[in-house]
Amino acid sequence: MLTLLMQFAAAGSGCAATPEKRTETPAPAKVYMTRNISPEGLKAVYEALERKASGKKIAVKLSTGEPGGNNYLKPALIGDLVRSLGATIVECNTAYGGGRAATEDHLKAAADHGFTAIAPVDIMDAEGEVRLPVEGGRHLKYDIVGSHFLDYDFVVVLSHFKGHAMGGFGGAIKNISIGIASSAGKAWIHSAGKTTDVNKVWGDLPAQDDFLESMAEAAKAIVDHCGERILYISVMNNLSVDCDCDAHPAPPRMGDIGILASLDPVALDKACVDLVYASKDEGKVHLIERMESRHGIHTLEHAEALGIGSQQYELVDLDK
């Protein structure tokens, strides 16, 4: 069921005794939605957030898509927004080989997929990496990100919500954790803080929940670093059970849903998950199976416990 919350004023107790100190419950995060998957719809959810991407250097973090795949967000959809911000598209190299593991190859993939035609593309770990502290982490004491990440004044997190072979689903939390991590940082997250060696990580993976918690912990480092200099937009189209990092993803088995945006990445991911469950499309069973079989919701549970955001939200339908 969709989480549709309304905030009510607290009623008085009517008691004549000395008033107790009250702690107000924070209002649920707003998640804005349109079914209009178009450049106009993308701009509409961005503007609804009322947080302007500002500064000398603005990053748009997205997936450039593994060569061979075709579900990634297309330049025709995102180009108007990216150009209007004067932004740079940012990525980091992968940790699993393939066509984006080395900077030169990654830039070629970005060009082949049309991204360099709409904005400069920066592979943020091309010249090294830096560590960002993780406060309260169970597995990670620090996150390892591309060194160029520190050059940016504001980050627009532009995610393609879809399934994921390891995480169950990929959305905003995955995009700012694994997505902003350097190659070594990706190994660090996937191993739950055991190794940065991309050649060793895949042969000795941790328990599933440890990996999911590590994604949330890496996301915590990004959220703390950026403060209010970040916002999140997720496009729910091409809803394959596989990620854009897959060179041969399964075809989508359910129809497109819309574009969502929030200042809270946990609320945004939860809204996307809820919309899949609420869909009347019978093909949703495939994506739900992928999410549940990987216990994907635990990423959001741990992220909420870390204080990144809340799974409680108010869905604001911009089409009504």
| Beta strands 313-317 and 29-34, pairing class | parallel
Residue 199 domain-assigned (yes or no): yes
Contact partners, residue 215, CB within 8 Å, separation at least 6: 167, 173, 174, 177, 178, 189, 299
Min mean pLDDT across 12-16, 230-234, 273-277 is at 12-16
31 within 8 A of 269, measured Cβ to Cβ: no
Place 217 in a pLDDT band, splitting at 50, 70 and 90: very high
Q: For the stretch 240-271, what's the b/e string if a residue is b when 16 or more beta carbons lie within 10 angstroms of its beta carbon?
A: bbbbbbbeebeebbbeebbbbbbbbbbbbbbb
Q: Of 93, 98, 144, 79, which is closest to residue 122 (Cα–Cα)?
A: 93
14 in a structural domain: no
Asked whether residue 51 is assigned to any structural domain, the reply reads yes
Supply the DSSP string of 32-62, one letter for each residue: EEES--SHHHHHHHHHHTT----SS-EEEE-
Q: Which residues pair with 261 in a beta bridge?
A: 32, 233
pLDDT tens digits, residue range 186-197? 999 999 999 999
In a domain, 133, yes or no: yes
* Domain assignment present for 6: no
Q: Is the pLDDT of residue 139 over 90?
A: yes
For 71-93, what is the mean pLDDT?
Answer: 98
183-185-190-194 Cα dihedral, nearest 10 degrees: 120
Q: Rounded distance, CA 282 to CA 259, Å?
A: 20
Q: Does residue 24 form part of some domain?
A: no
Percent of the chain scored above 70 by pLDDT? 92
State residue 26's pLDDT score.
72
Residue 18 confidence (pLDDT) above 50:
no
| φ/ψ of residue 226, rounded to 5 | -80, -30
- pTM for the whole thing? 0.92
Residue 8 has pLDDT above 50, yes or no: no
Average pLDDT over residues 298-319: 98
Residues in the chain: 320
List the one residue out of 65, 89, 75, 49 whose CA is nearest residue 162.
Answer: 65
Give the CATH number for residue 166.
Answer: 3.40.50.11440
Residue 258: inside a domain: yes
Full residue range of the structural domain in which residue 153 is found = 29-317
pLDDT in tens, 242-259: 999 999 999 999 999 999
Decide if 10 is inside a domain.
no
Per-residue pLDDT at 165 exceeds 70: yes
Structure tokens at 104: 């030169």
If one counts the domains in the chain, the total is 1
Tens digit of each residue's pLDDT (9 = 90 or more) over 170-181? 999 999 999 999
Quickly count: other Cβ atoms within 10 Å of residue 273's Cβ. Answer: 22
What average pLDDT does this structure show over 113-141?
98
pLDDT at 29 over 70: yes
